[in-house]
Structure formats: C-alpha cells, structure tokens
C-alpha cells in the first residue's frame, strides 16, 4: 500500500439558487464537462448522490455510463429535507434545510434506507457515505456499518456547524476536536472508515476561543485553517495548500466540491461563466499538483478496501465524540 492517496468527491445535489420547494437539478447537466476533465487527468471521482439527483433521468444517464466504464463511483449523500419519508415536523417547516444529526436515529435510518433503495435500484450497491451539510454524529456510524457502508466522509476538522440552523437553531455538529487524519469508527455492527475533509490549521488556532459560528467565519477569512476545497477566494492558493498538506505528512488528501458549483446559475460562489471557467482551470492545476506531490488518486471505496484493516489507524467508539 502506498503512503499517500487523494480523493475527488462531489456532493451531487439540487440547485442552490433555486427555490427550496422546487428542488431543481439543472446543475447536473454540467457533470459531463467535469468528468471529461477527470478523464483527461486520469482522475476517478466519487459522486456523493442526494435523493433529488438519484432520481433524475439526467444523472441516471450520466452515472450509468460512468459506472459501466469504470470511471468513478456513486456514493450516498443524505439530505433529510429532500429524502422521504417526511415527519410532521419536517412538513411543518417546508423551508428548513435540516441536518441529518437532528433526526431521531430511527428516522435517520429510515431515510437512509429509502435513499439507498433509490440508488441501488439504478446504480448498484453503495459503500461510501457523506452526510448532507456534514450532519454526522458518531451514532450514525453503527447504522452505516449495519447497512453495509465501508466509509463516511462527513467530518470537517477544526470546524463547528453549531451556529447554523436546520429544523432548529444551532443544529449542526461540532468537529473542532478532530484533525484531518483518517481513523476508524468501531461499533457492535463492525468498523467504518472515516475520511475527513482536508482542513488543516494555518495559524494559531482560534477555534478553541471563538463561538461556534465564529469558528466557521475564521475559516472563511483564512484566520484559523484552510480547506482543500475550491472557492472563489482560494483558487490561486490551492497548489500551495497541497504543498502544506504534503509537508504535514497527511496520508490522505480529500478534495470536495458541490455539483451546483459547476453551473453559474445554480450556486452562490461561481455565478458567472468566467468564474466557472476559472474553477475548471484551478481544478486541472490542482489535479496535476497532487500527482506531482506523490498522491495517488483512488475512490473512497478503493481507499476503504485498502485501509480499513490497517491496525495502525486510530480507533474511536461510535458512541461518543471523545
């Protein structure tokens, strides 16, 4: 097993700039352009797929060909507000974009099974999961293991989402106690590999002294940490971030984007054709830099199959955040 790998993961979902009730998925028409770039650079991505994308004929046509040609993976991405069945509380708050961690565990599992059924029917078995809005808690690991998943990729190191609202105020999880190294969740249902997003501290960390909402703000301002995720204000620094990640000796670099960021009419970040073109150029440079830094691209499923039995990986109980 090589020492360094990297993932390219896409949260594949609704149009962020559409009305909440519409759940339009126009952005999915941009996926072939992204996949063409991946093909050119020898990159095999994972499309973490939400319910609204899973049932889209556009995505079904795209993903069926992707899987048949062995060019990537389709994973699972749970948005509670788009995935049936819906509780009375959800029906009473139709504009809320809830976190999965807000749900009672029984409801979480029921929604996950419904999403999994929709995905398996069209794309075969899924082994890789990411929570919508990163709404993961350790108790989810046991459920994911029971349903046959090999990995989760929801932990955002050094960041807290507790200042963000879902069905309730201050609803998100808090990951300030985590770093970017992979580890294994242990439960009575088995082991689940955690693949944190690559977020590392830049300067003296502020997350311990800031309120949760300010912890996220410090990331946006570049004060506390940087995220290996293309955004308009960091595109010129992505290659330097790879250098920093390599110097830290991280065995895994986990790069993410959202599918709606590929279409200028469906996201708040890259909202002109010119800015989307810059995003694609930055991604190409990033892919090349990761290769130069000695990172080998794999899918989350492949990395899990390589790593899950690695005895040197830290283990955490799936019942607590310690």
Predicted pLDDT at 10:
98
Question: How many whole angstroms separate alpha carbon 34 and alpha carbon 43?
Answer: 10
Predicted pLDDT at 94:
80
Half-sphere exposure of 266 (CA within 13 A, CB side): 19
Predicted pLDDT at 2:
54
Domains along the sequence of the chain with CATH = 5-317 (3.20.20.370)
Whether 222 has a pLDDT exceeding 50, the answer reads no
pTM of the model as a whole: 0.92
At 210, the pLDDT band (50, 70, 90 cuts) reads very low
Highest mean pLDDT among 52-66, 93-107, 154-168, 199-213: 52-66
Whether 49 has a pLDDT exceeding 50, the answer reads yes
What's the longest Cα–Cα distance across the chain? 52
- HEC assignment per residue over 131-146: EHHHCCCCHHHHHHHH
Write the CB contacts of 87 (distance below 8 Å, at least 6 apart in sequence).
107
Mean confidence (pLDDT) of the chain:
90
Whether 3 has a pLDDT exceeding 90, the answer reads no
In this predicted model, what pLDDT tens digit does every residue of 119-154 receive, in sequence order? 999 999 999 999 999 999 999 999 999 999 999 999
Predicted pLDDT at 79:
96
Extract the tokens encoding 69: 């040609």
More confident call, 252 vs 321: 252
Predicted pLDDT at 17:
66
Predicted pLDDT at 202:
67
């Amino acid at each position: 097993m090589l020492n360094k790998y990297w993932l390219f993961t896409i949260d594949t979902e609704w149009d962020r700039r559409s009305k909440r009730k519409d759940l339009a998925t126009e952005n999915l028409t941009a996926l072939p352009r992204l996949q063409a770039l991946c093909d050119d650079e020898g990159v095999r991505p994972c499309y973490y797929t939400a319910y609204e994308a899973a049932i889209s004929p556009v995505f079904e046509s795209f993903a069926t060909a992707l899987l048949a040609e062995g060019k990537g993976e389709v994973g699972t991405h749970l948005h509670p507000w788009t995935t049936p069945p819906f509780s009375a509380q959800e029906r009473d708050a139709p504009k809320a974009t809830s976190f999965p961690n807000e749900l009672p565990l029984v409801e979480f599992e029921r929604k996950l099974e419904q999403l999994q059924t929709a995905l398996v029917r069209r794309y075969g078995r899924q082994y890789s999961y990411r929570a919508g809005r990163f709404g993961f808690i350790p108790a989810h690991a046991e459920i994911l293991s029971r349903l046959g998943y090999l990995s989760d990729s929801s932990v955002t190191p050094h960041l807290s989402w507790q200042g963000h609202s879902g069905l309730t105020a201050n609803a998100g999880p808090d990951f300030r106690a985590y770093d970017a190294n992979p580890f294994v969740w242990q439960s009575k249902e088995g082991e689940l590999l955690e693949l944190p997003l690559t977020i590392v501290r830049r300067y003296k960390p502020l997350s311990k002294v800031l309120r949760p909402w300010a912890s996220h703000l410090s990331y946006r301002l570049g004060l506390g940490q940087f995220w290996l995720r293309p955004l308009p204000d960091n595109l010129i620094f992505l290659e330097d971030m790879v250098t920093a990640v390599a110097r830290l000796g991280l065995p895994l670099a986990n790069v993410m984007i959202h599918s709606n960021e590929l279409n200028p009419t469906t996201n708040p970040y890259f909202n002109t054709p010119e800015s989307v073109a810059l995003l694609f150029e930055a991604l190409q440079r990033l892919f090349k830099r990761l290769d130069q830094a000695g990172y080998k691209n794999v899918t989350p499923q492949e990395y899990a199959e390589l790593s899950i039995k690695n005895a040197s990986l830290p283990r955490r109980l799936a019942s607590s955040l310690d």
